[in-house]
Structure 1
Amino acid sequence: MDFDVLIIGAGLVGASLACTLEKVVMDQGLRLALVETHDLSQPRDIPPSFDARASALSWGTCCTYEQLGLWPDLIGQAAAITDVHISDKGSFGGARLRAFDEGVPALGYVVKNNVLGDVLLNRLRGFQKRGAMTIFSPDKVESLSPVTGGMKVQLGNSAVSASLVVLADGGRSGLMDQLGIGFEQRDYHQHGVIANIALDRPHNGMAWERFAGKGPMALLPLTADSQFEHQMGLVWTVPDEEIDHIDSLADDYFLALLQKRFGYRAGRFLAVGKRDRYPLTMRIAKEQVRPGLVILGNAAHAIHPVAGQGYNLSIRDTVALADNISISLERKIPVGDLGRLQEYWQQQLSDQSVTSRFCDGLVNLFSRTDSMSTLARNLGLVTFDYCHPVKSRFTRKAMGL
């Protein structure tokens, strides 16, 4: 094989895996390569600050980036989540998760995706300059073919082979269709509306999970910029029958409807940035491992954003896969060995199942508007808030611990 591991896709998950494998390259001689359709040597387009999308990183994900030496470059541009307020609009139920109660400075942090991407890519470029990794960029994988001992990878102008190919391109390339890997999919008949919101008061590290109408609304703390001092990231779950109407609203009317649905607990909404919409589904790959192949990130599992767990689940998969690769090398077993890859998948199966079922259950529970469901939901929130051992276990699970 030309390489031990070849990663397809230099998005946040693929780049994180490459950074996680850096120690394995330096200590154990792993031969690592990465393929990316975009030219990684060129500066990327930077979105307007108020329009920049962000990701909520759990405490566990932040610890992973700290262990990789990446966190010092992120912390200065990250907004801490010190509290999470969960409530049901117009009802008595509510709960609050506090970092102080768990003995940590934050439950997690919110980092703009372009900032996180640049920090990861800067590490990869340094990695490449030292000759520790081969990067094919810009290049495209035309096809993947199983061969003895691994996979043959046909690129745009050349062909290489690898003992293990990690498909981390988000499932958008068509390679999974080519390989005949299907999905188990559930359509929620909802859309996610994402935008940044300017407020009239500081967020003070508070994240809001507000259940109003037919879907949850989340506000995540963001860092300030030169345009607006107080900003939060909105993730609004909207039923399919409402999405076209909401999407067509002018900004003033959009903010007015958002304020009416959410209420004033977080303050007054003053401005909204660029709005994006996308259909919400739960999609799980029917196969995540084959001989010489691992599916990672959104290509492996895309879950509802209600609890902000999708990316953090992918990072936990990434750390587990890197450990699996390292142990295979120690045992002098090919890193693409199916038995070893099945051990990785079995290790992560419980985490993936629990996380996806948890998010799915929240959607079902908080999308119901009948009086009995609302009463049961609010009694549950009150009980949860006062049952500290249960709340602590829940909080630490959400933190990725």
Structure 2
Amino acid sequence: MWDIVIVGGGMVGASLALALKPLQLKVALIEAVAFGSRSQPAYDDRSVALSYGSSRIYQGIGIWSELQTQVAPIKQIHVSDRGYFGATRIRAEQEAVPALGYVVESRVLGQVLFNALTGSQLEIISPATVSEFEQHADYVEVKFERQGLVEGLQTKLLVIADGAKSPLREQLGIEVKERNYQQTALIANVSTDKPVQGVAYERFTSSGPLALLPMTQGRYSLVWTHKTNEVEASLSLSDAEFLQKLQQTFGYRQGRFIKAGKRSSYPLSLIKSAAEVQGRAVLIGNASHTLHPVAGQGLNLALRDVASLSDLLAMQAQQHHDCGSAAMLATYQAARQADYKSVLGYTDSLVRLFSNDFPPLGHARAGGLLAVDRIAPLRKLLTQQSMGLRFRQSRLARGLALKS
């Protein structure tokens, strides 16, 4: 009998598995893709933004010292609205923190997680796919397929971290609310003729937000939101034409764009599950909530799922209580609601407010940006939200390791 089985070994599932290491629980991680099979480093690797709060979570998990040498700090965030005056600037020194956040290549984060996992007592079942599961009063029976054979195991708690299109969420019968933004994110790494100095840019345009995030090696990670029916035109441009279009949209505050890596795209929508818990199963990460990339909140919200659930599981382990108890899972679900409501409302409002061409609304937005820039309490609220520090901080979120 396993204490915890995690389905999904991506960044969220792997982070949870590592967080639980000190608890001396019997944990298994089931992942569909073979671990360590990702492609080698390339200029075009996708990146993720880790908030300052997420850096503390990884410090508590024990991998931040290895990650810290491979990330680019965000010292300042510059927010503007194309075609209108007014901007908001948020600086790390205003909050007395070393950085507001950090940008790390997905490949790098994945490798650090993989290295830490392979050195642990955790059971990794990969490549394997969960075919079905059945809930009982005291355990969940899980069947998975590996190398053409169906195997089974039993667990006290089933953690579902298998992504936005989670088939296991569907098996649980948990419904989702979805909003299709009719937008598509175009992703690329780009370089400019000015040095990268720790400034992240969020520029709102008529088709949606355009973000430039500072990376290592003098690059920027570009996340450029397009109306879905317009993205193909940008993807099909030559590099020179693409850079010219980007320059026209973004402006010259970071100099001239001189290089672009491979472009890719993915559709944008808001997905939120009607519940996180059913029986002895719990949804975390994208299986529970998938966000628009504006303000870079998605992975950070998921890591706070990891921190909160880990905290509760540590208390269960200390008291030798059931890891899948209804009371513990109800406490987890209730504890996460304020954070969900805040982040989902914040990102959804930004997308809808700043993707509107109505001129009077544009002037109102400009006034709002100026107000946030100049009114300290407003700026503080926005900064705390961006840094993932707005609500109660679990042990991991304070940078402290869990105790068995």
Sort the TM-score into its range (normalised by shorter chain): over 0.9
Mean CA deviation greater in 177-186 or 361-370: 177-186
Equivalent of residue 153 in structure 1, options 133, 137, 142: 142
CA distance in 2, matches of 1:244, 1:393: 37
TM-score after normalising by structure 1: 0.93
Equivalent of residue 223 in structure 1, options 216, 237, 250: 216
Matched residue, 1:227 = none
Equivalent of residue 267 in structure 2, options 231, 256, 279: 279
Equivalent of residue 366 in structure 2, options 368, 378, 383: 378
Matched residue, 2:5 = 6
Q: Is the 1:56–1:108 contact (alpha carbons within 8 Å) kept by the matching residues of 2?
A: yes
Q: Is the 1:213–1:261 contact (alpha carbons within 8 Å) kept by the matching residues of 2?
A: no
Unaligned runs of 5+ in 2: 390-404
Matched residue, 2:328 = 340
* Residue pairs, 1:340-359, within 5 angstroms: 340-359=328-347
Mean CA deviation greater in 306-315 or 165-174: 165-174
* RMSD of equivalent CA atoms: 1.3
Q: Is the 1:13–1:314 contact (alpha carbons within 8 Å) kept by the matching residues of 2?
A: yes
Please tell me the residue identity of whatever aligns with 1:337. S
Equivalent of residue 87 in structure 1, options 73, 80, 91: 80
Please tell me the residue identity of whatever aligns with 1:152. E
CA distance in 1, matches of 2:240, 2:296: 27
* Residue pairs, 1:64-143, within 5 angstroms: 64-127=57-120, 132-143=121-132
Higher relative contact order (CA 8 A, sep 6+): 2
Matched residue, 1:32 = 27
- Identity across the alignment (%): 41
Matched residue, 2:311 = 323
Please tell me the residue identity of whatever aligns with 1:181. I
Aligned length: 385
Q: Is the 2:33–2:127 contact (alpha carbons within 8 Å) kept by the matching residues of 1?
A: yes
Deviation of 1:258 after TM superposition, in Å, equals 1.0
Deviation string 1:354-394 (CA, Å, 9 cap, x unpaired) is 10000000011111112100110001111111101220222
Deviation of 1:47 after TM superposition, in Å, equals 4.1
Is 1:214 the counterpart of 2:202? The answer is: no
CA distance in 1, matches of 2:41, 2:168: 29
Matched residue, 2:17 = 18
Aligned to 2:119, what secondary structure does the other structure show? helix
Deviation string 1:61-107 (CA, Å, 9 cap, x unpaired) is 00111122211111111000000001112321111000011111110
Deviation of 1:172 after TM superposition, in Å, equals 4.1
Deviation of 1:171 after TM superposition, in Å, equals 3.9
Please tell me the residue identity of whatever aligns with 1:84. I
Please tell me the residue identity of whatever aligns with 1:199. T
Q: Is the 1:150–1:291 contact (alpha carbons within 8 Å) kept by the matching residues of 2?
A: no
Unaligned runs of 5+ in 1: 225-229
CA distance in 2, matches of 1:288, 1:209: 31
Deviation of 1:341 after TM superposition, in Å, equals 0.4
Matched residue, 2:230 = 242
Mean CA deviation greater in 242-251 or 282-291: 242-251
CA distance 1:222–1:298, shift in 2 (3 Å): same
Equivalent of residue 44 in structure 1, options 20, 38, 45: 38
Aligned to 1:203, what secondary structure does the other structure show? coil
Q: Is the 1:205–1:221 contact (alpha carbons within 8 Å) kept by the matching residues of 2?
A: yes
* Residue pairs, 1:147-296, within 5 angstroms: 147-156=136-145, 157-172=150-165, 174-224=167-217, 230-296=218-284
Deviation of 1:193 after TM superposition, in Å, equals 0.8
Please tell me the residue identity of whatever aligns with 2:156. S
